[in-house]
Amino acid sequence: MQATLNEDLILDSRRALWMPRYGTLVLADFFLGLGAARRKRVEIMPSPTQFDLWERAFGLLTEYKPSQVVILGDLKPNQGMVESDEADELRASIRKFKRGCERLVQVASHPERLRGPAMEGTGLVPVDQHKVGPYSLIHRRRVFVYPRHEDHHGFWINGGVHPLFAIPAKAPDGGEDWMRLPAFLHTGYALVMPPFVPYAQGHEVMQPERLPKHAKAWSLLGDHLAPIDLQGLPPTPEHLRTITRPVRKKSGDD
């Protein structure tokens, strides 16, 4: 399912952005962080997350036949320094993408952190920003949810925030309820993207009152992409405005 922002920017419900004029496919946080690490544990069934990632990725590559793929964010945590099967999986992933396009670009807020031995020989050198026509592709945090317009940057495309919106819904018993849904967000000067991998969704719900009046958003639910009526959206309940990250147990804890 698609939604057209303008002739250059096509939103795809598979959590991707297609830029037809430039033959460019953009994904934010492909993030293979649970790949080889999970396979180190004995599991009866393999993780379906990996299959879903590649099924969507190959579907996009086959359908759009991009000349360029831009990945916003890392492929793995500490990707340049991973070893053994983690490094093998990283290199294999880069080869898979390169078979589907003429050029592969990786954009990160701190590209130097992504470089290292595991990236040697891949031909992929992460950068902090990538220009596609008048568009500046970045992967940065909060400050770029509501960026100021700067002529030399043009229009921002950001993969580092991952918008969430709280949407009123009906509970199974017919009462009132809410859903927090990932979304594409267009602020006027920027398009903020959802993560390609679902478990990387954001931890801060967007507040419509903080957005410009001309802002637009499209929620994602399964393979459905639906416009959000930002002006008619009720205020988000206080308890839904943030999502607390789970606290990691320290070594030795039960």
18-37 pLDDT per residue, tens:
999 999 999 998 877 654 44
In a domain, 249, yes or no: no
pLDDT band of 49, cuts 50, 70, 90: low
Q: pTM here? A: 0.83
The phi-psi region of residue 39 (left if phi > 0; otherwise alpha if psi is between -120 and 50; otherwise beta) is alpha
Provide mean pLDDT across the span 25-54.
64
In a domain, 250, yes or no: no
pLDDT at 114: 83
Give the span between the Cα atoms of 210 and 39, in whole angstroms. Answer: 43
Q: Which domain holds residue 25?
A: 2-240
Q: What is the CA radius of gyration of the chain?
A: 19
Count up the domains in the chain and report the number. Answer: 1
Answer with the residue of higher pLDDT: 111 or 44: 111
pLDDT at 10: 95
In a domain, 116, yes or no: yes
Give the span between the Cα atoms of 149 and 132, in whole angstroms. Answer: 17
Quick: pLDDT tens for 120-150. Answer: 888 888 898 999 999 999 988 754 554 555 5
In a domain, 174, yes or no: yes
In a domain, 247, yes or no: no
In a domain, 248, yes or no: no
Quick: pLDDT tens for 57-79. Answer: 899 999 999 999 999 988 887 77
In a domain, 30, yes or no: yes
In a domain, 23, yes or no: yes
Task: Kindly compute the dihedral angle of the four CA atoms of residues 150, 5, 63, 15, in this order, to the nearest 10 degrees.
Answer: 80
